[in-house]
Amino acid sequence: MAIPVVEPERYAEQLAAKRDYLETTFAAFQPPALEVFESPPGYYRQRCEFRIWHEGDDLFYAMFEVDAANPKNKRVVRLDQYAVASTRINQLMPQLREACLQSDELRRRLFQVEFLTTLSGEALVTLVYHRPLGDEWEQEARALEAALGIMIIGRSRKQRIVLTRDHVWERLEVDGRTLHYQQVENSFTQPNAHICQKMLSWAREVTGKQQEGAQNDLVELYCGNGNFTIALADNFRRVLATEISRTSVASANVNLDANGVANAHIARMSAEEFSLALKGEKAGRRVAEMALEDYDFSTVLVDPPRAGLDEQSCEQLSEYAQIVYISCNPATLAENLTILTKTHRIERFALFDQFPFTDHCECGVLLQRRDG
């Protein structure tokens, strides 16, 4: 794995290469013109984690480059700044390192540092240790919180010490609205907030035009902390969103309240369990709480992990008039589209450059059921 090298003067070139790759990969599906959404070329990641490397009296942030010819060989790369990370993270990196160099209690057996920041500059820093943490550590960590204007969590085996709180509040501007998201430490959130705003706006546009004047409902699989749920809720009569992570479900419910969304329900359930519930093959309290009989689903939104969807899940999606598929892996997206395009045609196709100067491509696809 190569560590991204940010070269702003080459950004247009690398984005064009991604465009060409997607247009070639998906040519067989005859999609419409690819919509391309740019990212800031640098300082785009709101969360990052670094190993802490100790050498004598020194310590520094480190990442590892893996030798492609021999994956067992890893080269330690020192990072004093990281142009991929947010400006707030880059501001904090030297300040935090200097504080640890000055304090044996903060530095001793410090193994990893995790940063979670927001567009407004809020910062939560998790310090991970290979030793138990006691009162002296907590005292010095609280002083560091105050000095740097941050929040700190200390972690070690069987310990998690939250000094202030375990989350930040991100505020995203989407179509003239400010959306508020609780983002919890050590849970999934979209790392590139700039692109996330564009993804949410795109998803609102592609579903809004289809739903104007209609009284249909949205079902969402893999909803996380309600990222899309909140942005899309006013495009539909009702939204039913499912997610398996307990932490994400809790955050999603907090976020619904924070944004005044009253027409959405979050169910803690895997996509596979939900499929069985729709077929009437799964019962129980969680299924009863969903009140599936009250919904008229016209649209499904799916944002699966890199492995994509299995054949059975694709067949389930094919039952909906509209499919919004957000993908972090073009290879598995292409596999899934070979099934989905048997019943649906691609109406919109987008590239969201979530991670500039990497090979990563985030895609958005709107599919509409074919006539007949």
SS3 14: helix
Q: Are 15 and 36 in contact (CB under 8 A)?
A: yes
**Positive or negative CA dihedral for 101, 102, 103, 106?**
negative
Angstrom CA distances, 110 to 65, 133, 174, stand at: 21, 11, 39
Q: Which residues 6+ apart lie within 8 Å of 154 measured at CB?
A: 126, 127, 129, 133, 137, 138, 141, 160, 161, 163
Residue showing tokens 């079902």: 219
Copy the structure tokens of residue 198.
Answer: 């564009």
Of the candidates 49, 47, 48, 54, which has an alpha carbon nearest to the alpha carbon of residue 130?
Answer: 54
Q: Is 43 annotated as a binding residue?
A: no
- Kindly state the helix (H) or strand (E) to which residue 369 belongs, with its residue range: strand 362-369
Of the candidates 361, 349, 363, which has an alpha carbon nearest to the alpha carbon of residue 35?
Answer: 349
**Active site positions, annotated:** 328, 362
Computed over its alpha carbons, how large is the radius of gyration of the chain? 22
| Segments of 73-195 assigned E as strands | 74-79, 110-117, 123-129, 151-156, 159-162, 167-174, 177-184
SS3 138: helix
Q: Is 289 annotated as a binding residue?
A: no
Q: Is 190 annotated as a binding residue?
A: yes
- Kindly state the helix (H) or strand (E) to which residue 311 belongs, with its residue range: helix 311-317
Of the candidates 194, 190, 174, 207, which has an alpha carbon nearest to the alpha carbon of residue 348?
Answer: 207
- Kindly state the helix (H) or strand (E) to which residue 271 belongs, with its residue range: helix 271-278
- Alpha helices by DSSP H, 169-245: 193-211, 227-232
**Residue list, annotated binding site for S-adenosyl-L-methionine:** 190, 222, 227, 243, 303
**Residue list, annotated binding site:** 190, 222, 227, 243, 303
